[in-house]
Amino acid sequence: ILEVSAGRTLVVADHRLEAWLPHVDRLVVLGEQATILADGDPEQLLTEDPRLLIDAGVSVAGQAADGPVPRKATEPGPVVASLAGVDVRRPGRRRGRGTEPPLLRGMDLALHGGTMTALTGPSGAGKTTLLQVVLGLKKPAAGQVALPERERIASVPQNPEHSFVAPTVRQEVTASPWATDDALAEHLLEDAGLAHLAEANPYTLSGGEQRRLAIIAALAQQPDLLVLDEPTVGLDARRREAVLTLLDRARAEGRAVLVATHDPVLIERADARLDLAGQAAPDPDGAPAHTSDRTPDRRIGPVPRARWIPADALNPLVLSLIGILAAIGSFAVDTWQGGLLALLPTVLLAPLAIRTLGGGLLRLAPILLSAAGLAWTTAFLGDAPSLSTEAWLLGAKEAARIIAFVAPGVLALGSVDVTALGDALGGKLRLPARPIAASVAGLVRAGHLGRQWEIITQNRVLRGLGSPASPRLLAGATLALLVDALRGAEQQALAMDARGFATATTRTWALPSPLRWPDAVGIGIGVLLLVWPFVAEMLVG
């Protein structure tokens, strides 16, 4: 940041100042409603009024909030949960990947009542994956896992909104069927400083308030084991201390607390630490072990870490052209024999555009079901006698036509990287930049919905609201996913406008979208799919 901002005005919003102090010229401290509490030379403010910074929740090395750090437990309680010699697979990997090494191997962990254990390591080291094993959401590849009954385990996800299930804060605390003590719920609301917000909607709370709410909703279940994923991320010093106080109270009540964290203050507060740094096996596909949010190689077409197919060599515009030309050619289908012949190139060329047979069939399933439905309705309600041989042949013609209309485009574009498609539309066709960028962002977000759905449903199952197949749970999770998508879209729109998308009239495209010799072959395939249905009808005629 300092390197690229040299000679420019730099404004930084942060809770932790020590890294910035040697480089900044001015310090502005904000209070409630953006009230300016202090504005001046950083060293002078630190010297003259350090109390002001502490009260504002600003963290500076050497300063601490009021009160001593709670003393750690000296006598651990009985073992609540344990892992012995556990191997953990990489997320999303199938069992049948031969000799691929596990992400984590031989993990041993004992969680005692009355203690807090910090799970640490760089991003991608496997912290969240290991937490899923502890929560019973993921089965280990090897080893033994001993856990309490499901109702004795409570969890707090990294994003507290993913755990919200009720319309008010008070109802959120008691939403789990295991949170049966109303007096405890009121006591927790008071301790967390949320009693005055008891009738507010959880989604309207601040970030720190949402984290405290998620934690006390977990504590209201009176669990033996409390599992948290990054509970202090993004919090200022004051709100972090409030969260740590809740965790200290859980530990003092004899609960086993397991926390995945990067926070040095929380790590110092823990009784034990399991560091995963250096324990993750190298990725057999060649990617670094400690980069969970890897940036994919931005080439045209290929999906990272997947089997290469010939369609990957084609520019997205050529793949789009193939789908368009095939759709136009499908209008020539006029007989069932011509329809079947028209599908022949698509069947022969399909292996060039699908990575696995199962994936290809899954992609084509909606088309095939639609075609079957159209054939049935045509045979039953068409001009020919109902369900007669003539009617079924007419239905077959209509089914072949719809498959020829849609299938080539679905196969061609099914594995195209949407960002590469956006680069091609903007860089090659010079289409308006803003709708292209917005569409690409929306499609990328849509690709994340599956993972968001999994997270939301898992959290509801953990809270005891039903099984993954429960209609009530699915209905609530659907609404939660809609809320999450809308809030995420709003945040993305604000971020894009802040980067100039609202006012920019001309944009450059950083990544090229070249046309190469394979694209000539692709255009030839498109022309074939355009012409062949006409030829097929001539042959059968």
pLDDT digits (tens, 9 = 90+) for 115-145: 999 999 888 888 888 999 999 888 888 888 9
3-state secondary structure of 234: coil
Residue 93 has a pLDDT of 54
> Is residue 243 predicted with pLDDT exceeding 70?
yes
Distant-in-sequence, close-in-space partners of 217: CB < 8 Å, separation ≥ 6: 163, 172, 173, 175, 176, 179, 463
Q: Give pLDDT tens digits for 307-346.
A: 788 888 999 999 999 999 999 999 999 898 988 999 999 9
The reply to whether 255 and 224 lie within a common domain is: yes
Single residue among 275, 302, 327 that ends a domain in this structure? 275
Q: Is there a domain that residue 216 lies in?
A: yes
Q: What is the mean pLDDT of residues 155-173?
A: 93
The CA distance from 124 to 522, in Å, is 38
**Helix (H) or strand (E) run with residue 358 in it:** helix 357-381
How many domains does the chain fold into? Answer: 4
Provide the pLDDT confidence category of residue 532 given band limits of 50, 70 and 90.
very high
The residue range of the domain holding 348 is 310-418+519-540
3-state secondary structure of 109: strand
The token duo for 497 is 């406008």
> Is residue 53 predicted with pLDDT exceeding 80?
no
Residue spans of alpha helices (H) in 416-448: 418-427, 433-447
Single residue among 254, 275, 296 that ends a domain in this structure? 275
Lowest mean pLDDT among 54-68, 245-259, 380-394, 443-457: 54-68
Provide the pLDDT confidence category of residue 255 given band limits of 50, 70 and 90.
very high
The CA distance from 87 to 101, in Å, is 9
> Is residue 305 predicted with pLDDT exceeding 60?
no
> Is residue 174 predicted with pLDDT exceeding 90?
yes
Q: Is there a domain that residue 466 lies in?
A: yes
How would DSSP label each residue in 60-96? -TT---SSPPPPPPSS---EEEEEEEEEEPPTT--S-
The reply to whether 140 and 271 lie within a common domain is: yes
Lowest mean pLDDT among 58-72, 171-185, 338-352, 463-477: 58-72
The reply to whether 392 and 461 lie within a common domain is: no
The CA distance from 153 to 147, in Å, is 8
Residue-averaged pLDDT of the chain: 84
Q: Is there a domain that residue 281 lies in?
A: no
The reply to whether 413 and 446 lie within a common domain is: no
The CA distance from 282 to 360, in Å, is 30
Helix, strand, coil share (%) of the chain residues, nearest 5: 50, 10, 40
Q: Give pLDDT tens digits for 74-115.
A: 578 889 898 888 888 877 655 444 456 778 888 899 999 999
Q: Is there a domain that residue 284 lies in?
A: no
Who wins on pLDDT, 52 or 213? Answer: 213
The reply to whether 529 and 503 lie within a common domain is: no
The reply to whether 357 and 210 lie within a common domain is: no
The reply to whether 226 and 175 lie within a common domain is: yes
Residue 530 has a pLDDT of 94
Q: Is there a domain that residue 254 lies in?
A: yes
